[in-house]
A = this chain, B = another copy of it.
């Protein structure tokens, strides 16, 4: 390939232009994502909802797959277990999503907890004296009676495990099985998003616990992803980048080059595919906008960097939803950067705040309504609150005044909050490109954002899911100003 051809390749778009979500990408990108080590040809290219999978493998009859599921759980012949599990996973992948749901319902209901056994053990357990009595004094039992108590307690604990535990355990130690389990869970989640079925919910919750144990951070390897990595791995970075899409090969190379770092967590049983990865920019100062990070050209020399900016984190496995690997990944990457680059002392994140606008608009609308409906409305009392318990002017007096000035020129409103609401929802987001409008709305937008992130709580956690993630990782709030 000549120079020009290479330049064109490096700049050509890597993804469809529509703003797709990750979920859609699964169906569109032909990523090689092999499930099985033993039978890559038949198990490859399997995604949870990939409609082409049933075309590659002819769909099997549900009852045939169900029979192989049964064997996978109940066989005691260790020499055939691998072929039984291969047969089951191939059968599963051949099924349509509807048939998979029927199969998983059978799994959830018929391979559930043995409740007759649980009840027997409960009665046995309640009949035994515990090591420490109700009032906290030692029971004085001898060791053999204590042993019997502990044994019954352990038996009860084991009996409360559903029978499908066996299937999960066997798949976990089977080549390709862990990946299969994450796909199975992704299927479960997409079923539960449509319809809440209690037994499937219980199955999902149990599988989630098992996956969290097996994918414990101790079992994961931190991998520094570079331009020297295999194309099959880099392809996954492009496909799964969920925060700031990678536009072309140049963009990708840039994110792995000087002044940038990319780290992923890999599991030995799912080789060549990071479960989660994070992108870091080494800068002189905390960036104000993501554009500075993605397009600062030339990059800051690494020896001059004093700030590590975590600008993107993406999970590659929809089946691991709710299992917080990011927290551990960030911690490990911070340690690593600290060790390798002692001159970097600021660790920050530049993050979208997905729930802010929605919260702000609803706040502005409801407070503006309350203000209107109330007689004797005082636009701004000293504490920002007035008569009604729920009523509150969320704007400061000078913000209110500046917005009311705009009311005549740009956007109608009976009070500052209504003006702001109208501005923010106006067509084409005019306010984002007008200096005059920005000069007025920036101050209240920033101030209210800090309040949204730090003060608005639900059950003790930040209202915003992304904010909550960062705050749990030890972040303090520094909205760019």
| A binding-site residues for B, Cβ under 8 Å | 78-79, 109, 112-113, 115-116, 119, 122, 125-126, 130-132, 134, 143-144, 146-147, 149-150, 153-154, 156-157, 160-161, 172-173, 177-178, 196-199, 201-202, 205-206, 213-214, 216-221, 267-269, 328, 472, 474
Contacts and interface: CB of A to CB of B under 8 A. Distances in A.
B78 A173 contact: no
Contacts of A328: 173
A126 B131 contact: no
> 3 nearest interchain CB pairs?
A146-B198, A219-B219, A218-B269
Contacts of A146: 198-199
A267 B198 contact: no
A259 B306 CA distance: 54
A24 B161 CA distance: 40
B216 A173 contact: yes
A410 to B, nearest CB: 46
Nearest to A217: B173
B268 A202 contact: no
| Number of this chain's copies in the complex | 2
Contacts of A268: 218-221, 268
A201 B157 contact: no
A331 B373 CA distance: 77
A113 B131 CA distance: 10
Contacts of A160: 153, 156-157, 160
21 contacts: A78-B472, A78-B474, A79-B474, A109-B132, A113-B153, A115-B132, A116-B134, A143-B196, A143-B198, A147-B201, A154-B206, A156-B160, A157-B160, A172-B218, A177-B218, A178-B218, A213-B213, A214-B218, A219-B267, A219-B268, A268-B268
Nearest to A122: B122
Given A154-B205, A178-B218, 9 more contacts: A115-B130, A122-B122, A153-B202, A154-B202, A157-B161, A160-B160, A173-B218, A173-B328, A214-B219
B213 A131 contact: no
Contacts of A154: 202, 205-206
Contacts of A149: 198
Contact of A213 (B125, B197, B214, B472): B214
Given A221-B268, A268-B268, A150 B474 contact: no
B219 A150 contact: no
Residue picked from A126, A472, A474, most chain B C-beta under 10 Å: A126
Contact of A147 (B153, B172, B177, B198): B198
Contact of A150 (B119, B143, B173, B199): B199
Contacts of A143: 196-198
Contacts of A220: 268
Contacts of A109: 131-132
A119 B149 CA distance: 14
Contacts of A178: 218
Nearest to A195: B143
Contacts of A144: 198
Nearest to A141: B198
